[in-house]
Amino acid sequence: MKVCLETCPLNTAGFTVAMLHSQTDTDFHTLKTKAKNGENYQLSYAPVGNSPAEPSVIIVGKTPGLKTLEKFMSLMRSGLSMEHSAFQSVYSNMKLTLFNMLNTQTRFFDLMELVAPHYWEGKDRLSQWNAAFDSYNSSQACGIQLTQSCNCCIHTSDSNEPNKSAYKEISSKNPDCLFSSFIVTDKLKMIVFLDSPSKDSRFHPEYLFLRTDKARQLRNIIITSFPHPSGASPVSSLIAEPERLKKKYPYAYQAIERTKKAIEDCISAQQE
């Protein structure tokens, strides 16, 4: 796992990985800054996710949420290693929703049976999915890297998702921050961002990633976005009603259709 905390230029307090084990609820927020537009935000280190040696698919959240941060810190304080705390806490309480959305709206797990058959083929999909968050060996063998665009939980004063300017500020002060956790090898087939890109002022990681040197170096890697399964998102409640979803949340609908086609294309390529 990439440990960026101790080299982060935003870490002016000198916070260390060793100090994570003794942190209390009152001193979570050690990396503090303020966006140029005046929006206040705080960064709490939470490098959640797993680190398989050669993933075939990367599923990318934006930033750890508060529930994820709390679970990560709780596991760290209980004595688990950072690596075990990281894969057991990633996506926290939205794991089942993400599974259901991928399983019902796309052929994602058909793809996984092709690219990681030793883990998925002939097995109960939900059991194997859950195991990737519970067992170290499963997290390594599942063929999916579960990670975030940013290794820190980003808090704002109103607890909403930070404005795009906050991410730009982080990126400008620490150019190696965003997308630093991605494991890219010859086995990588697809990167799926959890987001519904639209023409607004929010942070849409796919758009930013495509402008990075890392993205420009990739060849024959499918990059797409899929609606975020957060409990705060109303999209998941309409997932079984595509016409209503299309009318009310057209960008989410477009993201599903685009990812569905991307996965179909990837399956076809694997079967050739």
Query: How long is the chain?
Result: 272
Residue 194 CB coordination number (10 Å):
24
Q: What is the pTM of this model?
A: 0.92
For residue 243, pLDDT beyond 50: yes
Q: Which two tokens stand for residue 131?
A: 């195991």
pLDDT tens for residues 125-152?
999 999 999 999 999 999 999 999 988 8
pLDDT averaged over the chain? 87
- Give the alpha-carbon dihedral of 62, 46, 135, 61, to 10 degrees: 0
pLDDT of residue 239: 80
CA separation for the pair 56, 38 (Å, rounded): 40
What pLDDT score does 29 carry?
A: 47
Please state which of the ranges 32-46, 114-128, 247-261 shows the lowest mean pLDDT: 32-46
Q: Residue 90: is it exposed, middle or buried by C-beta count within 10 angstroms (0-12/13-18/19+)?
A: buried
**pLDDT (0 to 100) of residue 199:** 82
Q: Is the model's pLDDT at 100 over the cut of 60?
A: yes
Domain positions in the chain are 5-271
User: In what order do the strands lie in the sheet containing 190-194?
Assistant: 144-148, 57-61, 190-194, 222-226
* Strand ranges inside the chain, DSSP E: 31-34, 40-45, 57-61, 144-148, 152-156, 190-194, 222-226
Topology annotation, domain 5-271: Uracil-DNA Glycosylase, subunit E (3.40.470)
- Give the mean pLDDT of 30-50: 72
Instruction: Kindly state the percentage of the chain with pLDDT values over 90.
Output: 50
Mean pLDDT of the region 167-184 = 86
Residue appearing with tokens 């595509």: 242
Asked if residue 116 has pLDDT above 90, the reply is yes
pLDDT of 195-220, one tens digit each? 998 888 788 999 989 988 889 888 88
What's the mean pLDDT in 72-87?
91
Q: Averaged over 50-61, what is the pLDDT?
A: 96
DSSP at 187: T
Tell me the mean pLDDT in the region 174-194.
92
